């Protein structure tokens, strides 16, 4: 992975390159960015640059023996740690390294749900267990095999839990030429004792323009469709790719049917929709449908505020948001987006789809039909 292959983040790339050129490589760094922002890809590209045998002014060379091994994720001094679905207490991350390399090679912007999809995990909880922590300590106690630096890239240290405290001494006083790169999405879920021992690299979500340009140049998407997807994805390239391969027309028809039942408070049909139609979509399409609906609600907000220049929709979708924006208030639309985002979060964590969508539908009925809610309490009342 080279910096030039990563979408956006030019300032971060320049900063990372300078730390190596100025010999200011911090031994423990935390790449903190939302899912789909490219924080994992940046960490890998940085590690490759650190160990490149023929560093270029702005990037690794990509052709030296070290770079070629990094490109295939098989360098003997590059180690990965990540959450996995252990079948026994003694399993460690390296037991799943083939699946990890395959998933990461195919999608360097992968999120936890993409990783989970590689396994028949069902409702199993992913974590980084104590056996993995001991294996990390053992691996990093050895000398580098062929490069200047040994590198450990830990993806989602949020899954460490308290066993991460066993790594504190190693992170604070590592063996010489050892580099810890932690890649996280949620700072609040990381042990404070680990955060205090790392240097923060803040990775922001990608802009709509960056995702749109990537879709047009790399995927051949027409400009109007690229603009629509980039807005709906809201900075998450993983979501953008899922939306690209989903049937937006089917989502639009389902959304129209659903919202019509919500606004007219057609209870029995809402129950049927929640009990049959939404669960039938499957978890990934449920997520994509919610992302699509969230995006449409945001477009309605823009329309209601007269920001037509930021709207990327056309034909029936444009007609829908125009009519919807004339009926409901900004306060109602904002509350609806909040409810949809909470449901998306719950779907990601494998909550029961029937209960989730019925609860969401009933709350939207109260919001859109009775128009009685209290935003400051984050709840809705009759």
Asked if 236 and 35 touch (Cβ cutoff 8 Å), the reply is yes
Asked if 354 and 283 touch (Cβ cutoff 8 Å), the reply is no
For the chain, where do the domains classified as CATH 3.40.50.300 start and end? Answer: 3-202
To which H or E segment does residue 104 belong? helix 97-106
What is the Cα 188 distance to its own chain's centre?
16
pLDDT of residue 360: 93
Asked if 303 and 322 touch (Cβ cutoff 8 Å), the reply is yes
Which CATH number is 3-202 given? Answer: 3.40.50.300
At residue 347, the 3 state secondary structure works out as: helix
Detail the DSSP E strand segments found in 185-323: 199-202
pTM for the structure as a whole: 0.78
Residue 151 CA to residue 76 CA, distance in Å, equals 10
At residue 358, the 3 state secondary structure works out as: helix
Give me the torsion for CA of 88, 90, 92, 95, rounded to 10°: -70
One digit per residue, the tens of pLDDT, for the chain of length 382 reads: 999 999 999 999 999 999 999 999 999 999 999 999 999 999 999 999 999 999 999 999 999 999 999 999 999 999 999 998 878 878 999 999 999 999 999 889 988 878 887 876 555 678 888 999 999 999 988 888 889 899 999 999 998 877 788 888 888 888 889 999 999 998 888 888 888 999 999 999 998 889 989 999 888 888 878 877 887 788 889 888 877 877 667 888 899 999 989 988 888 888 989 898 898 888 878 888 898 899 889 889 988 888 887 777 777 888 888 888 888 888 888 999 999 999 988 887 778 889 999 999 999 998 887 654 444 444 433 3
pLDDT of residue 381: 35
- Residue 204 is encoded by which pair of tokens? 């922001």
pLDDT of residue 92: 92
To which H or E segment does residue 176 belong? none
Going by C-alpha positions, the residue among 254, 279, 295, 235 that lies closest to residue 111 is 235
At residue 79, the 3 state secondary structure works out as: strand
CB atoms within 10 A of CB 351: 14
pLDDT of residue 29: 94
pLDDT of residue 34: 92
Residue 382 CA to residue 371 CA, distance in Å, equals 8
pLDDT of residue 373: 47
For the chain, where do the domains classified as CATH 1.20.272 start and end? Answer: 246-380
CB atoms within 10 A of CB 355: 12
Question: What angle, 0 to 180 degrees and rounded to 10, lies between the N-to-C axes of helices 330-348 and 353-365?
Answer: 170
pLDDT of residue 121: 58
Residue 174 CA to residue 196 CA, distance in Å, equals 15
Specify the residue for token string 């009775």.
Answer: 370
**CATH class of the domain defined by 246-380:** mainly alpha
Residue 229 CA to residue 313 CA, distance in Å, equals 10
pLDDT of residue 57: 94
Sheet containing strand 150-155, edge to edge, reads 78-81, 150-155, 178-184, 28-32, 199-202
Specify the residue for token string 């790719």.
Answer: 241
> What are all long-range contacts of 102-105, with beta carbons under 8 Å and residues at least 24 apart?
104/40, 104/44, 104/73, 105/72, 105/73
* Alpha carbon distance, N-terminus to C-terminus of the chain: 54
The backbone torsions φ and ψ at residue 256, rounded to the nearest 5 degrees and listed phi first, read: -60, -45
Q: Is the Cα dihedral 63, 146, 73, 18 positive or negative?
A: negative
At residue 29, the 3 state secondary structure works out as: strand
- Residue 292 is encoded by which pair of tokens? 């699509």
Detail the DSSP E strand segments found in 62-111: 78-81
pLDDT of residue 132: 92
Cβ-count burial of 226 within 10 angstroms (0-12 exposed, 13-18 middle, 19+ buried)? buried
Asked if 189 and 19 touch (Cβ cutoff 8 Å), the reply is no
Residue 230 CA to residue 227 CA, distance in Å, equals 5
């Amino acid at each position: 992975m080279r910096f030039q292959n990563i979408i956006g983040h030019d300032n971060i790339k320049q900063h990372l390159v300078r730390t190596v050129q100025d010999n200011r490589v911090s031994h423990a760094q935390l790449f903190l960015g939302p899912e789909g922002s490219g924080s994992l890809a940046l960490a890998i590209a940085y590690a490759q640059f650190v160990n490149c045998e023929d560093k270029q002014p702005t990037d690794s060379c990509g052709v030296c023996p070290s770079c070629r091994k990094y490109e295939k994720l098989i360098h003997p001094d590059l180690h990965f740690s990540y959450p996995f679905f252990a079948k026994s207490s003694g399993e460690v991350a390296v037991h799943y390294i083939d699946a990890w390399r395959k998933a990461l090679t195919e999608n360097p912007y992968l999120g936890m749900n993409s990783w989970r999809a590689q396994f028949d995990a069902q409702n199993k909880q992913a974590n980084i267990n104590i056996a993995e922590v001991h294996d990390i300590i053992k691996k990093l106690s050895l000398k580098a095999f062929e490069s200047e630096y040994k590198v450990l890239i830990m993806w989602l240290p949020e899954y460490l839990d308290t066993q991460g405290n066993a790594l504190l001494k190693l992170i604070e006083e590592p063996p010489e030429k050892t580099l810890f790169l932690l890649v996280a999405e949620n700072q609040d879920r990381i042990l404070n004792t680990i955060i205090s021992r790392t240097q923060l690299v803040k990775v922001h979500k990608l802009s709509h323009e960056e995702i749109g340009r990537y879709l047009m140049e790399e995927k051949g998407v027409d400009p109007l469709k690229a603009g629509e997807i980039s807005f709906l994805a809201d900075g998450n390239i993983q979501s953008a790719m899922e939306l690209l391969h989903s049937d937006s027309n089917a989502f639009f028809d389902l959304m129209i049917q659903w919202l019509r039942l919500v606004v007219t408070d057609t209870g029995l049909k809402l129950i049927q929709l929640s009990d049959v139609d939404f669960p039938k979509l499957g978890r990934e399409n449920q997520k994509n449908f919610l992302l699509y609906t969230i995006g449409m609600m945001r477009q309605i907000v823009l329309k209601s505020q007269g920001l037509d220049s930021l709207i990327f929709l056309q034909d029936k979708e444009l007609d829908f948001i125009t009519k919807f924006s004339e009926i409901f208030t900004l306060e109602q639309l904002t509350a609806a987006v909040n409810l949809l985002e909470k449901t998306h979060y719950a779907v990601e964590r494998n909550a029961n789809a029937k209960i989730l969508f019925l609860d969401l539908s009933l709350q939207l009925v109260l919001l859109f039909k009775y128009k009685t809610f209290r935003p400051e309490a984050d709840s809705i009342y009759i």
